[in-house]
Structures are given as C-alpha cells and as structure tokens.
Amino acid sequence: MGLGAARADQTGSGFDAAERLGTASMRRRPVAQVGDWPAGTEAGDYPILYDTLRRLGGLRDVAEVSEFVIERARFLLKTDLAFIALRGREDKVLHMLACVGHRTKEFMGLARPVEQGIAVYERRPMYSADFLNDNRLSHHPDTDARVRAEGIRSVLVVPLAGPEAIVGMLAVANRSVHSFTEREVLLLSEVGAQAAAALDSARLYSTAISGAATAVTEQARTELALERVVTMQQAHDAMIEALLAGQGMAGVLAVLNRSFGIPVIATDWRRVVLAHHGAGEWLDSRGQLSRNLLGRSASEPPTSDPSGEEQVHLRGGTLLVRIATADESLGYLWFPAAGALDVDHPLVATARRAARVLALELIRERVVVETERRLGRDFLLNLLSDAPADSAMLGSLARQVWRRYGSPHRPVMIRVGSEWPTPTSLLERARRMIGHARPGDLVTVHRGEIVLMLAESDRVRAGAEVRRLQALLAAERIQLSMVIGTVCRDLSEDRRCTLACVHLHELLGFRPLIWLEELESLTILFEASDRKRLDQFVRTVLGPVADRPELIATLHAYYVSGRNRARAARQLNVHVNTLRYRLERIESLIGRSFDDPAKEAAIQLAVSVRGGDTQHR
C-alpha cells in the first residue's frame, strides 16, 4: 500500500477473534486537565479543529469521513500512521476500516476483539511510547508480527463514542519511540469525538437513502432524516461562523435560538450564567437561573461523569446538555421551553454539537485569560522591580495586555478583603470581575494586590468609577480597599505613582478609598512599616480630637471648603452655628488655633489620615 488512505478488505485475513492489538493491559495513566495545557500548545490547533468540524459536517459517506479523519489526525499530530477501526455489528471485533501511512498489506488485516483492557472497552485514551518492548502490555504473536513488519514503535488510541455506545477507535502511530504529550492526547480525543459524530451522521444518511428506495414510508422517513441533517448542518455552520467572527458564546446561543425558536442559557459547572439568548423570563433579578427553572429541572445536574461522555437530560420540559471534555465538566446548556422531545429530534443532536463547540470555546478563552494574566504579571514585575527593564521592552509588554496604553490614566492599587494575605481564589475572582467591568484597562495581580490602570484622568469621574466597582463587588460580598494614584502619562510616571500607592496602602492599611494626591507626603515622611509612628504623629497633633469622628469630619469639611463656614456647614448638613460651636470645641481640645500657619499643614495632614480611618471604622 502507498501513503494514501486505504480501506480494509473485510473478507481478508486477520479477522480471527484471537488476534489482539497490544493495548490490552495498558495501565491507567494520568489524563491532562484542559486548563493545564503545556506551554508549547500550537496557536494553529484551534483553527484546524474548527475547520475539521466544518468539513466533517459536509461529508455523507463513511469512507469519506474515515479517510478525512485519519489524514487530519496524521497532519495534526505529525505521526507516521493513522487508522480507524470500527466494531462489527455481529462479532464485537474491531475491524480495520481505513489507514494512511502504512507500508505493508498485512497491516490492513489487523483486527482486535473488544475486551477488558483496551481503549474501546475502557472508554478512555491509551498510549505506549514503545509498544513492542512494553512489558506491561499483553502481546499476541500474529499481532506483534504485523506491527513489527510495519515498523511501529509508539501508539496512541482513543475510543469513538456514538450516541448510545462505543463504535470504534481512532489511532496514530510512529515508527520511532515517542512519548505522547498531554496536548497530543487532548487533540486526538477531540478529533475522535468529531469523527464519531460524523460517522454516526454518515451511517444515518446511508441508512436513510437506502431505505427511501424501498417504500414510500421509508422515503418519507428519509426526507425527515435529511431535513434533520440539513437543519443540524446549517445550525452547525452558523455556530462556527459566529465563533470565527469573534461573537463567542453569545453568538452560538443566538444561532441556537434563531434555529429552533426557543430560549437557551449557558452556565458554568456551578450553574453561574455565562450567557443567554431570549431567556430573560427564566432568570432572576441578578441574571442567574430562576427558582422556577431550577424547580422545573426536578433535580440538580450532575457535577461529574465517570464515563466522560456527554449527558443529555430532559426534566420538566427543560433540555439539559452537559458541556465537557473527556475528563472535565465545564458547564451546561439549558433549553427551558424544549417540551417533550425524543433523542432523534434535531434540537437534541444540535445541542450535542453545540456543547462540543462551546467546550472548545471555553478552552480557548481559558488559555487566553491565562496568557493575559501571565503577561500582565510579567509587565508589572518588570515595571516595579528595583532594576526596571528598558522602556522599549516595557512598552512592548504594555501593548500586549493594555488596550488603552498611552492614554492618560490613574494607577489604582486594590486590596481585596480585610484578610491579609488575600486568598488566591478570592483575589482571582475579584480580578476577573474588575477586568470584565473595565475591558480596556490593564487589570492584573502584583504581590497579593490588584493593579488597575484606570483610564479616567478627571478626579470626579475616577471617583465615580471606583465607587461603581466597589458597589459591583460588594453585591458579591467582596470588600475593596483602593488607593487611587495621580494622573500618569508614561511608564516612568506609572512606576513612581504605583510604588507610592503600594507604600501608602501598607502604611494606612485597609480603607475603602484613599487618594494619593492628598496623602502622598506621608510616603516621604514615613516608611511603609511606620504605622505606629504615624498614629503617634496624629495623636500628638490632634490630641483628644483624634477620637472624635464628628470633629474630624468638621475639620475636614472646613479645610476642603476653603475655610468657608457656610459652605462647610452645607456639606455637613448642619446649621452654621453648630459648625461654629464644633470649631470652638476643636480649638479648646487641641489648645491652639487650627488656622495657625505654623501648625496648619500638620493639622490638615493628620485630619486627612484620621478622616479615612474613622470612615473605615
């Protein structure tokens, strides 16, 4: 045989039930988690997988599907061979269907009984770096002879899962010793999942066509099946187009809603809503699944699936489809108004395909988020290190993670929760929420705090925006302490301002809102660890007033209003006589005039420090 794809002669030799493919006793190996792809993941993987989905949808013949799949698997993993074997309907033996890259005719006669210890039986990928010399595997003389004649050393096999059972296997092999990586296992598993769906569709199409030729009833059934295939294919193509157009998960849900006219919701594995289309009535005031929908579903969706296959449930008129990889639940698709459906309904089949497409999209988004987070962290480390990198390199890093780089902005240091250090999970959750609320700004983590480059130079607008962020996270019971820096226009100003914000945050501790421009002098007068000396300074200057919040607020309003008593009284919402009485009381307590030029600067600084502290308490 040449290097082109070839179908096996299923009447030839090699179908003896005693023959075995040598994966029978492969031991269970660790399976890669989707979120932990190796750093060497190739950027071209996703376009190839999306293209595979599109092209498989247009194939109707089993031979065409199998030949395309093995060519694509061999190209994607860059192996010497690739082949597909399908399970016989009668003898429960895996028969070679198609192979590419083989050299001997005998290899096409390879067959394998379905029994315990092989990938098809175990329903999971299996692989060996050196098949013939792997003593953990069972070996059969005839099988080993075929493999040895072909020169095969390493093998990776994944099962092909149909709607109801395992229908076969997809395998790749090399003529050299090779340890398959987590990326290669995941990629072949994804191609195998796509191949299984395409083979099932091709078999269904062939059955429908042959049945239509026998009777009018069968013809009507065929037309219905063809209509189902067309509907599924059109929806599938539209979903792929939405992803390629950058519409993401929302675009896929819009296609499903448009194709079947029913609301659809996507959630993560915790049932937190990620996106929805036409499903407003099924969500509560916070945009999450309503009690009515959860009650209709009768019971909670499973959080794990030992078999690793997609799960489809119809509960109380709600179709629920699991979004998952072979070994991780990523979320669920909810169709609240699906009604009574059978398993052959186009919506069910299309929902299965949509779940696979969304699994790929969630993986892609996770990789993008991890990359952005790493680049943002690297940028801050280089910017704030004792020996910062040159401006050209810093500028290049900034452009990769900061869409609004170059516009006037204010660095904001954010501490999450009063517990220090902040738990990593809480810190990452807050970072994602802030990043979603400020998509054009740089939002990253630096030494246990969140750094936000807020593209608002005006103080009033900047204050309103940070209060909006505080309210947004407070709704999730997350409290923030923020130090808002001065306006910066280049990286050197960013470095100086951000370090001053860090210094001030360490000095003053957890407070809702601190403006660097009011208290920057503290970073010059006090070390970050001098909190006790700062408190002593405040008490020395203010005396008993330091423990009187209403008097501190009075002094602060007095200074902010430019010593205009009427304006200060309005700001405090008190009568001007009340203000005058408080000011007289303050002078008597501190034993000096707060308008004394020699003391005024110290008093104003102490009032600013104590004002934020009393507000926090």
615 vs 535 pLDDT, higher one = 535
Mean per-residue pLDDT, 258-282: 87
Please report the pLDDT score of residue 82 as a whole number. Answer: 95
Q: Which residues pair with 170 in a beta bridge?
A: 84, 158
| Spatial separation of the C-alpha atoms in residues 328 and 166, rounded to whole Å | 19
Q: What is the pLDDT of residue 33?
A: 37
**What Rg value do the Cα atoms of the chain yield, rounded?**
33
Residue 407 clears pLDDT 60, i.e. is over it: yes
- For residue 372, give the amino acid letter: E
Angstrom distances, CA of residue 590 to CA of 40, 203, 550: 67, 92, 15
* pLDDT confidence bin for 49, thresholds 50/70/90: confident
Helix axis angle, 62-77 to 182-212, nearest 10°: 170
3-class DSSP assignment, residue 312: strand
Residue 304 reports pLDDT greater than 50: no
Per-residue confidence (pLDDT) for residue 361, from 0 to 100 = 85
Across 320-350, b (16+ Cβ under 10 Å) vs e yields bbbbbbbbbbbbbbbbbbbeebeeebbbbbb
Q: Residue 309 and residue 445: Cα distance in Å, rounded? A: 37
- The CATH H-level (homologous superfamily) assignment of domain 254-365 is GAF domain (3.30.450.40)
Phi, psi angles (nearest 5°) of residue 597: -55, -30
Highest mean pLDDT among 59-63, 389-393, 528-532: 59-63
Q: Is the pLDDT of residue 27 over 60?
A: no
Q: pLDDT value at position 211?
A: 63
Q: What mean pLDDT comes out for the span 595-601?
A: 65
Q: Helices in 81-129 by DSSP H: which ranges?
A: 119-122
Residues above pLDDT 70, as percent of the chain? 85
Average pLDDT on 583-589 reads 80
* pLDDT value at 327 more than 80: no
Task: Work out whether strand 480-484 and strand 513-515 pair parallel, antiparallel, or are unpaired.
Answer: parallel
Residue 590's pLDDT band (cuts 50, 70, 90): confident
Contacting residues for 371 by C-beta, under 8 A, at least 6 apart: none
Residue 181 has pLDDT above 70, yes or no: yes
Nearest to residue 86, comparing CAs of 188, 183, 166?
Answer: 166
Q: What would the mean pLDDT of 408-433 be, rounded to a whole number?
A: 87
Weakest mean pLDDT among 29-43, 67-81, 235-249, 410-424 = 29-43
Element (H, E) at 324: strand 318-324
Six-digit token string for 479: 């409290």
In 78-157, where does DSSP find H-type helix? 119-122, 141-150
Residue 611: which pLDDT band, with cuts at 50, 70 and 90?
low
Phi-psi region of 334 (alpha: psi -120 to 50; beta: other; left: phi over 0): beta
**pLDDT bracket for residue 172 (50, 70, 90):** very high
pLDDT at 140 over 80: no
Higher pLDDT pick, 361 / 592: 361
**Residue 67's pLDDT is what?**
93
Q: How many helices (H) and strands (E) does the chain have?
A: 19, 17
Higher confidence at residue 43 or residue 471? 471
Domain definitions of the chain by residue range: 6-207, 254-365, 407-616
Which residue, 369, 398, 368, 370, is CA-closest to 382? 398
496: how many CB neighbours lie within 10 A of its CB? 14
605 closest CA partner among 564, 546, 550, 549: 546
Q: How large is the average pLDDT for residues 519-531?
A: 74
At residue 298, the pLDDT reads 54
Cα–Cα distance between 172 and 174 in angstroms, integer? 7
Give tens-digit pLDDT for 441-456.
Answer: 889 888 889 999 999 9
Quick check: 579 and 572 in contact, CB under 8 A?
A: yes
Q: Which CATH architecture has domain 6-207?
A: 2-Layer Sandwich (3.30)
Q: One-letter amino acid identity for 71?
A: E
Top-ranked range on mean pLDDT: pick from 26-30, 94-98, 386-390 = 94-98
Is residue 313 within 8 A of residue 335, CB to CB? The reply is no
233 pLDDT exceeds 80? yes
Q: Are 136 and 27 in contact (CB under 8 A)?
A: yes
Q: Is 43 or 458 the better-scoring residue by pLDDT?
A: 458
The percent of residues above 90 in pLDDT, for the chain, comes to 17
pLDDT averaged over the chain?
79
Which residues does residue 333 pair with via DSSP β-bridges, in sequence order?
Answer: 266, 321
At residue 457, φ and ψ (nearest 5 deg) are -85, -30
Nearest to 295 by CA among 316, 274, 322: 316
Within a 13 Å sphere around the CA of 272, how many CA atoms are in the beta-carbon half?
A: 4
